[in-house]
Amino acid sequence: MNPMEQFEIHPIVPLHIGGYDVSFTNQSLLMCIVVAAASLFLTLSVSKNRLVPSRAQSMAEMSYEFVANMIQSAAGHDGLKFFPFVFTLFIFVLFSNFLGLIPGSFTVTSQIAVTFSLAAVVILTVLIVGFARHGLGFLKLFVPKAPILLLLLLVPIEIISFLTRPISLSVRLFANMLAGHTMLQVFAGFVILLGGAGGVLSVLSIAPMFLIVAIMLLELLVAFLQAYVFAILTCIYLNEALHLHDHH
Amino acid sequence: MSNTTPEPEDLKRLGKRLEEVRQRESAKAPASPPTSMGIAFRFAAEMMSGLLVGGGMGWGIDWALGRLFSIHTRPVFLIVFFVLGAAAGIRNVMHAAKELNEQSAAAMNAAPSVKDDEEER
């Protein structure tokens, strides 16, 4: 019962191109499923397009409105141009987190390679938008209001703190998923150990079982919350690139 | 069919009222409160990424100077940038803490305040 075994990547269709291992793995499979599930859900639920929405349609509409409100409050009105980008990120992370909670499946967002790629796309977008909007004036983001002598120290700190963003963004999502799923697996291990012990201990194995149910509920909350955090931080970073106000 | 057609002024007034309500609603929109574990993870991630980026940058500069210009500075930049990275990490954590404080303060203000009897006496 190795609790980390669930995060292992196995090739399903081994594939090597030019010396690189580009096999189709369980990770790739789950990513395809996530994209397919999200697209199917969002297109099928609104295909009827009734004035009084069905349950599925109102779910799709709520998620649309939720993200639109989030962007408007965090990045202002002209942030809405980035709605497709933020909505895609939010839905992808949300569906990966939720589908990963199904027993026996695989959590795409528990791989730092995936979360870091997403974060890198976010930061590159912020950089491109910032430089396209303000030109070299975007570099003012790194110069806080302070005496010249202090700037020598503060500018490198500001630059490092900007560079930490993709890392903290990716590590937070990845660590939350990793910790939650490991915890579930560890408690599931307790159930099996106690159940196999015999006598009174077997009866006691029901206790960690209840704990698993509780943790599962917490994980559902965390799955949503982390998708929310990822999207809102994207909005906040986009806001800085768009409006360049000093955040001190 | 009613024979009174809506006046443009009426529509305008209705629009204004709708806008007001919308603003009031959005002002008290409850930001979902983060769980304690979420807060802990947030702070840990901020601090750790500061140290990682600082240390990584210092190590990279040392490596580049040694490899490309054969100037051997090995531990100097690593140490300097590690300290800078720690400073950046602490700054990030303070930023995050301030944000969370503001969030909870806003939540407190949004909730109807209950007068404290003890205070008044």
Are the beta carbons of A24 and A15 closer than 8 angstroms?
Answer: yes
Q: Which residues of B touch A161 (CB under 8 A)?
A: 50, 88-89, 91-92
- Residue A158 contacts by C-beta under 8 Å, 6 or more apart in sequence? A141, A142, A143, A144, B88
How far does the CA of residue A221 sit from the closest CA of chain B (Å)? 9
Give me the residues of chain A with pLDDT under 70, please: 1, 245-248
Q: Give burial (CB, 10 Å; 0-12/13-18/19+) of A217.
A: exposed
Q: Is B91 on the interface with A (CB under 8 A)?
A: yes
* Collapsed DSSP state (helix, strand, coil) of residue A24: strand
How far does the CA of residue A14 sit from the closest CA of chain B (Å)? 34
- Residue A186 contacts by C-beta under 8 Å, 6 or more apart in sequence? A3
Are the beta carbons of A109 and A93 closer than 8 angstroms?
Answer: yes
pLDDT at B120: 45
CB contact under 8 A, A172 and B42: yes
pLDDT at B86: 94
* Token pair 């390679």 in the structure block, residue: A113
pLDDT one digit per residue (tens) for chain B, 121 residues: 455 666 678 888 888 888 887 776 665 554 556 678 778 888 998 999 999 999 999 999 999 999 898 888 888 999 999 999 999 999 999 988 998 888 888 877 776 555 555 544 4
Q: Is B45 on the interface with A (CB under 8 A)?
A: yes
CB contact under 8 A, A160 and B32: no
CA A31 from centre of chain: 13
Q: Is A35 on the interface with B (CB under 8 A)?
A: no
Phi, psi of A191 (to 5 degrees): -60, -45
Phi, psi of A11 (to 5 degrees): -70, 140
Quick one: closest CA in B to A153, which residue?
B84
pTM for the model stands at: 0.81
pLDDT at B36: 80
Mean pLDDT of chain B: 80
Query: How large is the ipTM?
Result: 0.71
- Pairing of β A11-13 and β A24-25: antiparallel
Are the beta carbons of A90 and A223 closer than 8 angstroms?
Answer: no
For an interface test with B, which of A97, A160, A235 has the most B Cβ atoms less than 10 Å from its Cβ? Answer: A160
Phi, psi of B71 (to 5 degrees): -105, 120
Q: Is A222 on the interface with B (CB under 8 A)?
A: yes
Q: Which residues of A touch B84 (CB under 8 A)?
A: 153, 156-157, 160
Nearest Cβ partner for A161 among B41, B44, B50: B50
Question: How far apart are the C-alpha atoms of A95 and A108, rounded to whole Å?
Answer: 10
Question: Domains of chain A: which residue ranges?
Answer: 61-243
Q: Is B37 on the interface with A (CB under 8 A)?
A: yes
Q: Which residues of A touch B34 (CB under 8 A)?
A: 225, 229
